[in-house]
Structure 1
Amino acid sequence: MAREILIVGMNEIGASIGLAIRRAGRGVICTGYDSDASAARAARKSGAVEKLAMGLGRSVGGADVVILALPSGQVRGYLEAIGPRLKRDALVLDTSWLKADAVGWASEILPEGRHYIGAVPTVAAGALYIGASGASEPSGDLFEGGLMAMVVPARTPEAAVDLALQVASWLGTTPFFIDPAEVDGVAATVVDLPTILGAALMRVAVRSPGWREARRMAGRLFATSAIVGALQGPGDLQAALHLNRGNVLTRLDETIEELEALRALIAGSDEEGLERHLAEAVQAHYAWLAARMRGEWAQEEIVPGELPEGGIFDRLLGIGGLRTKDRRRD
């Protein structure tokens, strides 16, 4: 019997997930839903899904897996919409970045016998700069060779975890387990802070006295730095920053401290100190990029969160050489 998968959100992430599943998964029927009808039609045309859902009711009720490819601020609303319609043993796989609140929402909203797992896929190394200047086309290879950070709530049945792992396999990712609070901290560093800095750059630029000339002369450096502040809608960005405000404020304070240090070096004409300071950043960047391109994380410790007990986790300890903390939930 074919497994029914409903993907909610036909953005680049959702459509790419659909393409990967349809390419690798056998006996799977993918249905797509998006409140933006044009995005839904584009995903159907690309082959990301076999059919489109005009509404959530019937499609949710028949789905074995509902994949949420949504901004973090929309997750609670969709959990409330789909929760009562989910069939027993259905799995909700949430690909949004923020997990601490989402785990709590799922526990509060989903009926008994319906399961939630957080899953954040990382893009393939070769796709790091695709879309750096704006939205890009979905691809079934978007996540190939990347990781899948998985947040598994306590008492999640083994069958649900198995199903989530199957989805990770279809995407070509290696799963590892992590605590929801750790995911939120990572999001503040690699998603929220770059977005804020991009938005701040744009606001500073348009208020500068020379903007009339600058807008004509700005090139790739400015474009790639500023675009990250415009990739999300203002409402979605505001909601995400509000949900993760504790971590975001910490990163902002650290960034302000770093900018003040750079300002002091520039103001003090400390040429050697400034060069040394910048060299550290350049070296750190290329060290990260080299490691990210290699993807040989087995040689480094990826420290996930606590894992629920169960045979499936014993089998996972050796996946990709990833290591786990030596602890279990009570």
Structure 2
Amino acid sequence: MADVNVAILGLNRVGASLGLALKKYSRQGGAHNFIIAGYDSIPQNVKVAQSLGAVDDAKNRPEDVAKGKDIIFMTLPTYEAGVVYPLIADTIRQGAVIFDFSPNKQKMTLLAERHIAPKGHIISMTSVVNPKYLYHGVLDTEHATPDYFERGAMLIMPSVKADKDAIALATDVTAILGAVPHFFDASEYDVLSTAVDGLPPLIGAVVFYSLLKSSGWSDMVRVSNPDFAMLTHSLYDRHPDELRDVWMNGATDLARHLDTIIHNLSQIRSVLLNKDEVALTAFLDETSAEYEIWLNRRMKPEWELEEQTKPENATVRGLMRSMLGSFVVGGDRKDNKQKK
């Protein structure tokens, strides 16, 4: 079993789940033993990740964690990742592969390549997680699980400068995590994610703020329950700076979506004020039916049909076997060829 040295920068739910998934693979007899070091600016996240067994070691400085590692997962919030990339630029080894999970794909890829390339290779990625956790949206470390990526997809968004072997490694790591790799355009993802990832926490924040400023807020606090917490959970598990960056990056698209929502809210307001039960029933019937269609598709996505979801298949695939033997562990394959 070959050792692979991994760094995880950001021990939130995604980062800690990555560590747990890699450890599960090694524990179940996988071809590679992942030795994982972790970093997070929040000490509690580090403590929880260590208690879960997601990391073997943790250090207080990201540059120390990234030093000499074969694979680096960047799962820090955007505002932190932008600071960390310059710090690790001198400590990463030649040929290291960095999988960046930052939400703003185009912006962060350009920033990362400016500091890391050509010494290291940047691949932008995003997980479409296990449908089992679709209604478990809290992103704190305590909710990390080894099966977080299983039965899901990994969207791989390489830039035009991306190294082909690093791209191939991304697909193999994805298989180890139990997901199916799908190649996606970063600019298209940024637009789509604004709607499904940026808009919900914005709506939740606006609802919370509106109720906070209402006269009955003190009484609402006493009777609030999970429905309200689910709507507003991003104010709990995401830093305000992260939310600000996401919203500002997608400001134009968010404004467009808000225009549509405001129009529909205005119509629903009129329906409610007029006590129009027929119109309200028609709205609910159509919305509920379409929601059921969405939920069924999301619970059993098309990529489940692909055999690549099985982690054991990754052990026999040539790229993971060869790249971790030369490209990653032994340095950049291009450098090796030049030395022959």
TM-score range, shorter chain: 0.7 to 0.9
- Residue 10 of structure 1 is matched in structure 2 by 11
Query: Does the 8 A contact of 2:14 with 2:139 survive in 1?
Result: no
Structure 2 residues without counterparts, runs of 5 or longer: 27-31, 306-318, 320-340
- Residue 256 of structure 1 is matched in structure 2 by 262
2:160 is aligned with 1:154: yes
Task: Give the deviation of 1:80 after TM superposition.
Answer: 1.8
**Which amino acid is 2:4 matched to?**
R
**Which amino acid is 2:8 matched to?**
I
Query: Match of 1:140, SS?
Result: coil
1:49-198 alignment to 2 at 5 Å? 49-131=55-137, 136-198=142-204
Change (3 A) 1:133 1:179: closer
**Which amino acid is 1:100 matched to?**
Q
Equivalent pairs counted in the alignment come to 301
- Residue 316 of structure 2 is matched in structure 1 by none
Task: Give the deviation of 1:279 after TM superposition.
Answer: 2.0
- Cα distance in 2 for partners of 1:173, 1:245 equals 31
Task: Give the deviation of 1:32 after TM superposition.
Answer: 0.8
- Cα distance in 2 for partners of 1:297, 1:279 equals 29
Structure 1 residues without counterparts, runs of 5 or longer: 300-311, 313-330
**Which amino acid is 1:6 matched to?**
A
Task: Give the deviation of 1:84 after TM superposition.
Answer: 2.7
Task: Give the deviation of 1:126 after TM superposition.
Answer: 0.9
Query: Does the 8 A contact of 1:133 with 1:223 survive in 2?
Result: no
**Which amino acid is 1:295 matched to?**
P
**Which amino acid is 2:25 matched to?**
A
TM-score using structure 1 length: 0.84
Instruction: Determine what percentage of the aligned residue pairs are the same residue.
Output: 26
- Cα distance in 1 for partners of 2:65, 2:223 equals 50
- Cα distance in 2 for partners of 1:285, 1:273 equals 18
Larger helix percent: 2
- Residue 279 of structure 1 is matched in structure 2 by 285
Change (3 A) 1:206 1:63: same
**Which amino acid is 2:45 matched to?**
A
- Residue 21 of structure 1 is matched in structure 2 by 22
Query: Does the 8 A contact of 2:157 with 2:184 survive in 1?
Result: yes
Output one character per residue of 1:272-296: Cα deviation in whole Å (capped at 9) or x when no partner: 2232123222122211111111123
TM-score using structure 2 length: 0.81
Query: Does the 8 A contact of 1:84 with 1:111 survive in 2?
Result: no
- Residue 218 of structure 1 is matched in structure 2 by 224
